[in-house]
């Protein structure tokens, strides 16, 4: 199952394909505020973690970018998609510009 609720310039914009999100993750930093909301990746292991039983066993990717208007909200149980998005998000969090943004947000 692959459900793309949002993947584009805003939450209601036409949905872009996953490879567009991966390309954006290579180019621009994510907004570190999402570290406090599941760190961009939420695994639904049981019924208590989601209000939709069909999402049990799925991984939820959500967040937005810090410097461009682009948001994503993707739920899937497809192993390849999970691996690719997880790797791209974690690599994004290693970017120098992401770390600078993170320091600015969490330095209060």
Is the predicted pLDDT of residue 79 greater than 70, yes or no?
yes
In sign, the C-alpha dihedral spanning 28, 33, 39, 41 is negative
Average pLDDT over residues 54-65: 96
Question: What is the pLDDT, as a whole number, of residue 24?
Answer: 98
Structure tokens at 16: 């872009």
Residues 15, 6: contact at Cβ < 8 Å? yes
Computed over every residue of the chain, the mean pLDDT equals 94
Per-residue confidence band for 105, with pLDDT thresholds at 50, 70 and 90: confident
**Residue percentage of the chain with pLDDT more than 90:** 81
**13 or 63, greater pLDDT:** 63
How do the domains of the chain map onto residue ranges?
Answer: 2-105
């Amino acid at each position: 199952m692959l459900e793309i609720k949002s993947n584009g310039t805003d939450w209601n914009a036409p949905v872009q394909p996953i490879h567009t999100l991966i390309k954006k993750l290579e180019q621009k930093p994510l907004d570190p505020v999402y570290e406090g909301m599941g760190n961009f990746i939420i695994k639904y292991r049981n019924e208590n973690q989601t209000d939709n039983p069909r999402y049990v066993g799925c991984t939820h990717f959500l967040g937005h970018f810090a410097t461009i208007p682009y948001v994503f909200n993707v739920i899937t149980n497809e192993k390849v998609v999970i691996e690719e998005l997880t790797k791209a998000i974690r690599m994004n969090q290693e970017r120098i510009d992401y770390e600078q943004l993170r320091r600015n947000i969490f330095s209060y």
